[in-house]
Amino acid sequence: MGVLRGMGASLVAVLVVVGLVTAPGVDATRGWGWGDGGLENGFYQRSCPNAENIIFQSMQASYNADNTVAPGVLRLAYHDCFVRGCDASVLLDGPGLVEKNSSINAGLRGFPAIDAAKEAVESACPGVVSCSDVLQFAARDTVVLTGGQGWEVPAGRRDGKVSKESEVAGNLMTPDKKVPVLLKAFRKKGLDAAQMVALAGAHTIGVASCFEFDDRLHGKQVDPTLPAHFAADLEKKCPVANIVNTVVSLDLVSPTRFDTQYFKNILNKLGLLTSDQSMLEDSRTAGQVQANTDASTFSSNFASAMVALSEVGVLTGNQGEIRRQCRIVN
């Protein structure tokens, strides 16, 4: 059962299966959770028809208990796909040093919410829905839960069996990087400048450690792109003695709403991170920052960029496995 949700409402597209005999040219494997190895919308519509609803309900419960789950899970999806592809390797606990042990991933959160969603769907359909698909469905759901527009998530990913701390630094960029470095990293994953800017819009919710933008405040000089009043405000929020454990909202205006305020902040030179504000300084991204201040444009751009991201380096068909628990391989 495919689920499209937007602005807190639900639109459920119900598939009525009349019989198992298919017409000539119709893929008889579609919707059974197995096929020729490609991703497709409605992948579980026969093998686990309520999968997406089960995951949404679980995510809603997790979000209601702790709304920081939303930006946490959204970030998890991005960090997963940029290292080894979208194979749920970021969820693994071991053995050895795994992705979540990297200092770049030190602030990741949302793991219990994914565990709960996987457990819920596993109870209904044992051994059918992969952790990598659960994570991508859950990422979509967090956007909906914070007031954004949903999208159709193609599924059929399989779970990887390997996770290495050593692979994180070469794939994930730190927030002190500017567009030239960021764009190079995104292009390696098959993503362009417009998609990079749209995905950065995820910073409309969530927080950053003061340590992640300390270079703008306490470098050789205060970042000249920071308005004086903004720099002074950040100085107050981020005492030097505790910059690692102190956090600031990425969007200081509407920090819990998935909206276009993040882009408006950048236009007003109120982007929190170097990576955020640098998008206004580069001709390859500045126009996209402006374009995404329109709600309809951003919703469309973000959805298509998330689909593109979710297709990076996937395992399908007989590759990988369907983990029974997301933290350990079978």
- Check whether 259 is labelled as a binding-site residue: yes
CB atoms closer than 10 angstroms to residue 13: 12
53 burial via Cβ count (<10 Å: 0-12, 13-18, 19+): middle
Q: Give the phi and the psi of residue 11 in degrees, each rounded to 5.
A: -125, 110
- Check whether 204 is labelled as a binding-site residue: yes
**Pick from 152, 151, 206: which is nearest to 175 by CA?**
206
Please, which residues have CB within 8 angstroms of residue 128's CB and are 6 or more apart in sequence? 33, 44, 47, 48, 51, 121, 322
- Check whether 99 is labelled as a binding-site residue: yes
Q: Give the phi and the psi of residue 27 in degrees, each rounded to 5.
A: -70, 110
- Check whether 276 is labelled as a binding-site residue: no
- Check whether 87 is labelled as a binding-site residue: yes
Query: Is the peptide bond prior to 175 cis by the omega test (within 30 degrees of 0)?
Result: no
Q: Is 323 helix (H, G, I), strand (E, B) or coil?
A: coil
Active site residue 79: yes
Catalytic position from the list 75, 79, 100, 264: 79
Q: How far is CA 1 from CA 15, 16, 21, 40, 283, in A?
A: 6, 10, 19, 12, 42
- Check whether 66 is labelled as a binding-site residue: no
Please, which residues have CB within 8 angstroms of residue 19's CB and are 6 or more apart in sequence? none
Q: Write out the two tokens for 216.
A: 């703008």
- Check whether 203 is labelled as a binding-site residue: yes
**Pick from 114, 117, 110, 92: which is nearest to 205 by CA?**
110
Please, which residues have CB within 8 angstroms of residue 113's CB and are 6 or more apart in sequence? 58, 59, 62, 63, 69, 72, 73, 138
Alpha-carbon distance of 245 to 16, in angstroms, equals: 52
- Check whether 146 is labelled as a binding-site residue: no
**With contact defined as beta carbons under 8 Å apart, do 88 and 80 qualify?**
yes
Binding residues, as ranges, are 80, 83, 85, 87, 89, 99, 203-204, 251, 259
Point out the residues that are catalytic. 79
The annotated binding site for heme b is made up of 203
Would you list which residues are annotated within the binding site for Ca(2+)?
A: 80, 83, 85, 87, 89, 99, 204, 251, 259
